[in-house]
Amino acid sequence: MDLQYKVDLGIFSVEARLDDFGICLQRGSKVQQVRWDQVYGAALLDNVPDSRRDAHSEKNERVVAALGGPEALAKIKALQDKFRTIAFGYRDQRGRKQLLDFYFPSDDPRYLQEIVARVGSGWLGEVRDRHQAEKKLGTAPGFFKMTFILIVLFVAIALAAVFGFFSLLGPAFNFLSLQRMLLDLQDGEYASFGMRLLTYFALFVFAFLIRRWLRERLAERRARLANLRSRL
């Protein structure tokens, strides 16, 4: 059976077709084609609104109003109750599980009948929302995938932080360069040479004080441990 429809909404136009080859959905300039032998499951999404979808719908409405104007937004709102959505689970060319949202007229039962007949045992019936469909069709990100993504993000943030840290220390390293000190001495820039030498001296004194403080703390701790052992 060959079923097709087209809704003209400018850049938001939708054209869909079901035939012996498979599924074809065009939204604007984006075209998606999936063969029936790639489809392993499908589920009908419930039209009952919830808070999450309402929030997502409000964002979409703002985008439509900004790009297509109020007329396109009004047409889309008028058509929302006239269409249903089926989530198809299919495997792409690399064998990865993907999800395709297919919209069809709710007043034409032939679409649902054709899809149920084509999918067969992979038909999952009606589900609450797209998130539940992703879980049942196995396209939701798994635990290991989410963990891997978080690790990659953490490593990227850490590398950016290290790069930024050394970028900030770059001027300091340049100022304390021994080569620059020798050049200042050769060029007769004694004021600059003296500032660099004074900075090295201040760092030496600071390191000496930290080392002395640490030695005192360690000596106090050893003395307390010795007292405890003598009491035992």
pLDDT tens digit string along 112-157? 999 999 999 999 999 888 888 888 888 876 555 667 677 877 788 8
d(CA 138, CA 97): 7
Q: Are 102 and 90 in contact (CB under 8 A)?
A: no
Fold of 3-139: PH-domain like (2.30.29)
pLDDT tens digit string along 55-101? 445 656 666 556 556 666 677 777 777 888 899 999 998 888 899 99
Indicate the domain borders of the chain: 3-139, 144-231
DSSP state of 2: -
Question: Is residue 52 very low, low, confident or very high in pLDDT (cuts 50, 70, 90)?
Answer: very low
Residue 64, burial from CB neighbour count under 10 angstroms (0-12, 13-18, 19+): buried
Q: What is the dihedral of CA 143, 149, 151, 152, to 10 degrees?
A: 160
Question: Is residue 42 very low, low, confident or very high in pLDDT (cuts 50, 70, 90)?
Answer: very high
- Give pTM, 2 decimals: 0.54
- The distance of Cα 175 from the centroid of its chain, to the nearest Å, equals 41
